[in-house]
């Protein structure tokens, strides 16, 4: 076990480079490689967690699983992800991210390939829960790499760019996997991303970087001449002590609840949106997938815009932008679940994608990273993960139950009543907005 743990240990610091030009050149090249890896790499790896969302209708139509059973399987990944993100978030602050994260991507890819051959409920639950655990390496690894390679003054903008990764992943899922399922059946929704992500894991190992010190570079805040800007606790405290200190911050707990309820709505749309539009609007797999793909398409703009707007217009204050995004999200959901005109639905999904992804950027991590010490960045991401993905798991079970209860047959044809589920989804967003707005006066920790 000790030898296994050593594989993930941070590398030793190299002798400090002395040539300023070489330091600048090395930093610029490494930062670009890290940013592309945690954004594009995470986006592609994200497809290994959403395959079940695309294949629900063929699994139900094929008599393999019921909607309630799919709710059980779907909740398993969120419980696994919540626990995995929490524990791995604490570990990521101590780990060599270059090895830590690609290893998880590889295992997640293999689990997806296995899911493509499972038609037994308990096996699928176990595989999908394990997949959630290893998917839980991604967000903490990205945040730790970000805080190691980018300074405090860049955080909002860089976090916004990185947050486009999940939008990229959702877009690839709803368009790419919908096509794979159309061509190869439901198995293609799991095996396709699994095979691709085996190669992604190998590429990430070659493009990710450990801490700057392992390349002979100074810490990023020293390089950027921002020593006075960094909000860090005393160095006399261990990283473990700093990590535990976040549990004493009431704002972190409130953010956890706001994240949980926001994630309920987010994953309700991602997980059940395909079925909703197929059954209530009569859309095909590709039509429903194309409509849902508008969410991540707009989300790319939403993530980047959130970082720039909150940094530049509100001087790194997140609550005002949270309020704007929350109101836009709730309004767009009301239109999405009631409108029938394709143009109106398209416009509503673009607004929804813009606003929900702004909230994901903030409530999913940026706001919390702002108010905790740098050495607890991975820990607070893991802590939020417990709330966010337990909330998503509860949503999956409740939604599956409500949809199953609303299922009825007319002349042997299955029909669905989504009204109870839709009320539940929109209500979660309202609660999230109230909680997030209560932190209007929250400030970074000194």
Measured distance between the N- and C-terminal CA atoms of the chain, rounded to whole angstroms: 38
Q: For the segment 195-228, what is each residue's pLDDT rounded down to a tens digit?
A: 999 999 999 999 999 889 889 888 888 888 875 4
User: 47 vs 235, which has greater pLDDT?
Assistant: 47
The predicted pLDDT at position 33 comes to: 94
pLDDT at 82 over 50: yes
Fold of 18-224+238-437: Growth Hormone; Chain: A; (1.20.1250)
- CB within 8 A of 228, min separation 6: which ones? none
Provide the pLDDT confidence category of residue 176 given band limits of 50, 70 and 90: confident
Per-residue pLDDT for 446 more than 50? no
The answer, yes or no, to whether residue 296 has pLDDT greater than 60, is: yes
pLDDT value at residue 444 = 58
Domain ranges of the chain: 18-224+238-437
Paired residues of 408 in beta bridges: 415
| Cβ-contact 261, 429 below 8 angstroms | yes
Q: How confident is the model at residue 7 (pLDDT cuts 50, 70, 90)?
A: confident
CA-CA distance, 268 to 393, in Å (whole number)?
10
Q: Are 175 and 54 in contact (CB under 8 A)?
A: no
Rounded mean pLDDT of 375-393? Answer: 80
Predicted pLDDT of residue 233: 43
d(CA 6, CA 192): 33
Q: How confident is the model at residue 108 (pLDDT cuts 50, 70, 90)?
A: very high
- The rounded percent of the chain whose pLDDT value lies above 90 is 30
Residue 186: predicted pLDDT: 87
| pLDDT computed for residue 443 by the predictor | 67
Question: How far is CA 130 from each of CA 108, 137, 215, 263, rounded to the nearest angstrom?
Answer: 8, 12, 34, 20
At residue 445, the pLDDT reads 52
The closest of 178, 216, 202, 187 to 103, measured between CA atoms, is 202
Each residue's pLDDT tens digit, 299-355? 888 888 888 888 878 877 888 999 999 999 999 999 999 888 889 999 999 999 999
Rounded to 5°, the CA angle 298-348-49 comes to 50
Bigger pLDDT: 283 vs 212? 212
pLDDT over 70 at 3, yes or no:
no
The structure tokens 């610029």 sit at 28
Rounded to whole angstroms, how far apart are CA atoms 382 and 91?
9
């Amino acid at each position: 076990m000790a030898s296994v743990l050593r594989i993930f240990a941070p590398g030793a610091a190299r002798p400090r480079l002395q040539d300023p030009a070489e330091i600048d050149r090395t930093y610029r090249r490494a930062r670009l490689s890290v940013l592309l890896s945690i954004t594009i790499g995470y986006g592609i790896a994200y497809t290994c967690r959403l395959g079940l969302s695309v294949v629900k209708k063929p699994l139900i139509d094929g008599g393999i699983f019921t909607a309630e059973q799919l709710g059980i399987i779907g909740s398993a990944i969120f419980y696994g992800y919540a626990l995995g993100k929490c524990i791995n978030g604490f570990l990521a602050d101590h780990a060599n991210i270059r090895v830590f994260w690609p290893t998880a991507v590889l295992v997640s890819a293999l689990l997806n390939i296995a899911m493509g051959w499972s038609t037994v409920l308990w096996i699928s639950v176990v595989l999908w829960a394990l997949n959630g655990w290893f998917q839980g390496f991604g967000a903490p690894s990205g945040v730790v790499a970000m805080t190691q390679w980018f300074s405090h003054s860049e955080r909002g903008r860089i976090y916004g760019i990185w947050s486009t990764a999940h939008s990229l992943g959702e877009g690839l899922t709803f368009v790419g996997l919908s096509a794979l399922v159309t061509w190869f059946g439901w198995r293609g929704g799991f095996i396709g991303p699994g095979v691709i992500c085996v190669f992604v894991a190998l590429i990430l190992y070659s493009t990710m970087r450990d801490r700057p010190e392992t390349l002979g570079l100074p810490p990023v805040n020293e390089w950027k001449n921002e020593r006075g800007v960094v909000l860090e606790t005393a160095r006399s405290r261990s990283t473990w002590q700093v990590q535990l200190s976040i549990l004493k911050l009431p704002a972190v707990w409130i953010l956890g609840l706001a994240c949980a309820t926001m994630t309920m709505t987010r994953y309700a749309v991602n997980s059940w949106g395909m079925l909703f539009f197929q059954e209530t609007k009569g859309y095909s797999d590709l039509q429903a997938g194309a409509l849902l793909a508008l969410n991540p398409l707009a989300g790319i703009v939403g993530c980047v815009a959130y970082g720039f707007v909150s940094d530049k217009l509100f001087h790194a204050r997140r609550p005002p932008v949270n309020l704007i995004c929350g109101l836009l999200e709730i309004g767009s959901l009301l239109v999405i679940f009631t409108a029938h005109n394709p143009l109106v639905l398209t416009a509503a999904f673009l607004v929804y994608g813009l606003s929900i992804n702004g909230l994901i950027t903030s409530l999913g991590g940026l706001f919390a990273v702002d108010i905790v010490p740098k050495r607890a960045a991975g820990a607070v991401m893991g802590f939020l993960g417990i709330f966010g993905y337990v909330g998503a798991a509860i949503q999956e079970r409740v939604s599956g139950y409500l949809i199953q209860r609303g299922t009825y047959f007319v002349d042997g044809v299955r029909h669905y009543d989504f009204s109870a589920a839709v009320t539940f989804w929109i209500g979660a967003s309202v609660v999230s907005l109230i909680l997030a707005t209560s932190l209007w006066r929250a400030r970074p920790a000194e």
